[in-house]
Structure 1
Amino acid sequence: MSYLTYDEYQALGFKLEEQQFTQYLKRAESQIDSVARAFYRSVDIDTDQVEDRVTAFKTAICEQVDFLAYAGSETSYQLAQNDYNSVSIGRLSLSPKNGLADTVVGGVCMEARDLLGRYGLLFTGV
């Protein structure tokens, strides 16, 4: 069962084509589920009365889908593999301050983590 439909994705203001959305959805849901400790595997997302938490969770999935599409990678090791420290062409040398791999923690982009954190979905205590 998927947490998010394409119509919900669009309603939340995101713009990828349906084919790209579908391509990255399962991986994004898996990554978000992982850092949220599978919260919505034990709580029914359709009956959760904290609507802001549900919206934040679904928006985090949207952010992760868009991030994966932008990066063109589905896993953190692919991001790290595609990252570069510097490029030199003739006299031109480029050294980015941060690469894409620096914008993820636990395989999840910072925007998604921020949304999840606001509603306690990153809580790891007892």
Structure 2
Amino acid sequence: MLNFSEYQKLDGQVTDEEVYIKLERDALKLLNAATQMFYVKNNIDEDQDEWRVKMFKMALVAQIDYTNEVGASTEYDMSQKAVKSVSIDGTTVTTEGTFKDSSTRGIYNIALDYLYQAGLIFGGVDVC
């Protein structure tokens, strides 16, 4: 969904392309599950909603950078770690908590915010 060059243009922090490939694959699994497979069912390159595409890609960059900093890219791996410090985009946060303070089901909370803003995560009640 996001090639390494595009990732770097969106200010991604991973510099090793091989590392990026693994992190992107794992991040897509988490984001696709959170969005009910929206971009599995729909071609991102054909999506006319540029805002939604941009927000999904920004969520992907945020998730990749987060998992790179945490040192775990799957929900299971994250559950095995206790993170005391996270640094993303030049901001460092140290807490007494764990990664769970900054993520939900393994997804970085900022990435989730991007998905919400794009309308990719439904937060209401379907009344059909």
Q: What TM-score, normalized by structure 1, do the two folds share?
A: 0.81
3-state SS in 2 of match to 1:52? helix
* 1:28-43 correspondence runs (5 A): 28-43=27-42
Q: 1:84 to 1:11 in 2, by over 3 A?
A: closer
Q: 1:43 to 1:23 in 2, by over 3 A?
A: closer
Q: 1:84 to 1:52 in 2, by over 3 A?
A: closer
Q: CA deviation at 1:76?
A: 2.3
Which structure 2 residue ranges, 5 or more long, are not aligned? 85-94
Aligned residues: 114
- Which of 7, 10, 13 pairs up with 1:12? 10
**1:60/1:116 contact within 8 Å kept:** yes
**1:28/1:61 contact within 8 Å kept:** yes
Structure 2 residue aligned with 1:93: none
Which structure 1 residue ranges, 5 or more long, are not aligned? 86-95
3-state SS in 2 of match to 1:82? coil
**2:58/2:111 contact within 8 Å kept:** yes
Structure 1 residue aligned with 2:45: 46
Name the CA distance, whole Å, in 2 between partners of 1:20 and 1:41: 23
Q: CA deviation at 1:84?
A: 7.1
Q: What TM-score, normalized by structure 2, do the two folds share?
A: 0.80
Name the CA distance, whole Å, in 2 between partners of 1:114 and 1:68: 16
Structure number, greater radius of gyration = 1
Name the CA distance, whole Å, in 1 between partners of 2:45 and 2:68: 27
